[in-house]
Amino acid sequence: MECYFDNAATTKVRAEVLEAMLPYFQENYGNPSSIYKISQKTKKAVETAREQVAKAINAPAANEIYFTAGGSESDNWALKGIADSYSSKGKHIITTAIEHHAILHTCEYLETKGYEVTYLPVDEYGLVSAEQVKEAIRPDTILVSVMFANNEIGTIEPIAEIGAVCREAGVLFHTDAVQAVAHVPVDVQAMNIDLLSMSGHKFYGPKGIGAMYIRKGIKIPSFIHGGAQERKRRAGTENVPGIVGIGKAIELASAELETEMPRLIALRTKLINGILEKIPYARLNGHPDLRLPGNVNISFEFIEGESILLLLDMNDIYASSGSACTSGSLDPSHVLLAIGLPHEKAHGSLRLTMGHFTKEEEVDFVLEKLPPIVERLREMSPLYEQIKNKK
């Protein structure tokens, strides 16, 4: 049985989504900017997708949705764009220590350009509070960017409260909602969100397509200069099949949210409880309840994450880890360190993320295969030997 437990990394395109996209490669290939008949269909398809995306996040108007090449582009655009157009007001940006690198590295870039960035710390669950944001806001603060939900530990931030604080202070609020959109309810109006990033491949759409919600009236320069596409704010011939795909995917996932959330939460509970019952010296990372429905992140003491992944892979179970070996550096995940995990426990983390295609049998299979894998690695570990000898 092939068990894909890395839905936070990317998802499989749903058959309905692929089916909706296919006519836009060969039948309806016209450039949406052209005036002849065959282009009318592609233009209409792009506008339909824009409406589907707007509806899913309760945006007041479809023309507040801009298609991009993905979550990273949306994040870059939001931060660099607002920094650029509001620099006369100030050069201070507030974000958190656990953001995705698309935000953190963009902030670091802005710091080299004379902007000042406050990185709010998080508590042991990965939560930042609206109170913290409120206290960090200064007269020269131009933007607050807090992720909707964390990609590693799944913690869902108090976005509505933070949005309210920002609105009251007159500071723009951006949220990187790449992990949240189409997985949990997102309402840009109720939550006072000014800018929101999303990515199609995180909710069973294709890769290479994303979107940004930019509330009407916000000044933001074009990120890609060129033609007049996307109301002159994002040049480049539209990725029509991708746009059709993200539209269909968000429509499907949003319609199923009410049934899919409890289904995944039940699987999540089963997986977390099963692992913690079967495996000693393990702890759940992230919040027990304020958490993405499909996210499980657990640290196993005395062993290292990459070894766990390799052995899971041998059983056709695909997962990820926050260990240094998998991050491509010598430091473990910045998120796990930010919630206070010591390095050795961060190295031994395992992230299992479920989604639309995950079945209960797969959860059972992981619960069967994981305990002997952990035990096998512990038997090989000099750290475990010390613990056993102490007993």
Partner 1 sequence: MMYSEKVMDHFMNPRNVGEIEDASGVGTVGNAKCGDIMKVYLKIEDGIVKDAKFKTFGCGAAVATSSMATELIKGKTIKESLEITNKAVMEALDGLPPIKVHCSCLAEEALHAALWDYAEKNGIVIEGLKKPVNDISEHDEVPQEDY
Does 344 help bind partner 1 (rule: CB under 8 A)? yes
Among positions 288, 330, 390, 391, the unique one binding partner 1 when judged by CB under 8 A: 330
By beta-carbon proximity to partner 1, the closer residue of 170 and 328 is: 328
- Give least dist CB 170 to partner 1, A: 44
By beta-carbon proximity to partner 1, the closer residue of 285 and 307 is: 307
By beta-carbon proximity to partner 1, the closer residue of 227 and 340 is: 340
Calculate the CA 41 to chain-centre distance.
32
β-strand partners of 165: none
Report the DSSP pairing between strands 195-199 and 210-214: antiparallel
- Give least dist CB 305 to partner 1, A: 8
Among positions 302, 319, 333, 338, the unique one binding partner 1 when judged by CB under 8 A: 302
Could you tell me how many residues of this chain bind partner 1 (CB under 8 A)?
A: 25
Does 306 help bind partner 1 (rule: CB under 8 A)? yes
Among the listed ranges 105-113, 214-222, 242-250, 305-313, the one in contact with partner 1 (CB under 8 A) is 305-313
- Give least dist CB 232 to partner 1, A: 43
Q: How far is 95 from 83, CA to CA, in rounded Å?
A: 13
Among positions 43, 224, 343, 375, the unique one binding partner 1 when judged by CB under 8 A: 343
By beta-carbon proximity to partner 1, the closer residue of 183 and 347 is: 347
Q: What is the contact mask toward partner 1 in residues 347 to 376, using x (rule: CB under 8 A)?
A: x-----------------------------
Does 380 help bind partner 1 (rule: CB under 8 A)? yes
Among positions 114, 170, 288, 382, the unique one binding partner 1 when judged by CB under 8 A: 382
Among the listed ranges 41-49, 117-125, 203-211, 340-348, the one in contact with partner 1 (CB under 8 A) is 340-348
- Give least dist CB 198 to partner 1, A: 31
Does 307 help bind partner 1 (rule: CB under 8 A)? yes
Does 383 help bind partner 1 (rule: CB under 8 A)? yes
Among positions 314, 357, 360, 361, the unique one binding partner 1 when judged by CB under 8 A: 314
* Biggest distance spanned by C-alpha atoms of the chain: 80
- Give least dist CB 297 to partner 1, A: 17
By beta-carbon proximity to partner 1, the closer residue of 58 and 381 is: 381
Per-residue HEC secondary structure of the chain comes to CCEECECCCCCCCCHHHHHHHCHHHHCCCCCCCCCCHHHHHHHHHHHHHHHHHHHHCCCCCHHHEEEECCHHHHHHHHHHHHHHHCCCCCCEEEEECCCCHHHHHHHHHHHHCCCEEEEECCCCCCCCCHHHHHHHCCCCEEEEECCCECCCCCEECCHHHHHHHHHHHCCEEEEECCCCCCCCCCCCCCCCCCEEEEEHHHHCCCCCCEEEEECCCCCCCCCECCCCHHHHCECCCCCHHHHHHHHHHHHHHHHHHHHHHHHHHHHHHHHHHHHHHHCCCEEECCCCCCECCCEEEEEECCCCHHHHHHHHHHCCEECECCCHHHHCCCCCCHHHHHCCCCHHHHHCEEEEECCCCCCHHHHHHHHHHHHHHHHHHHHCCHHHHHHHHHC
By beta-carbon proximity to partner 1, the closer residue of 173 and 302 is: 302
- Give least dist CB 348 to partner 1, A: 9
Q: How far is 1 from 338, CA to CA, in rounded Å?
A: 36
- Give least dist CB 279 to partner 1, A: 17
Does 379 help bind partner 1 (rule: CB under 8 A)? yes
Q: How far is 316 from 271, CA to CA, in rounded Å?
A: 17
Q: Which residues bind partner 1 (CB under 8 A)?
A: 302-307, 310-311, 314, 323-325, 328, 330, 332, 342-344, 347, 379-383, 385
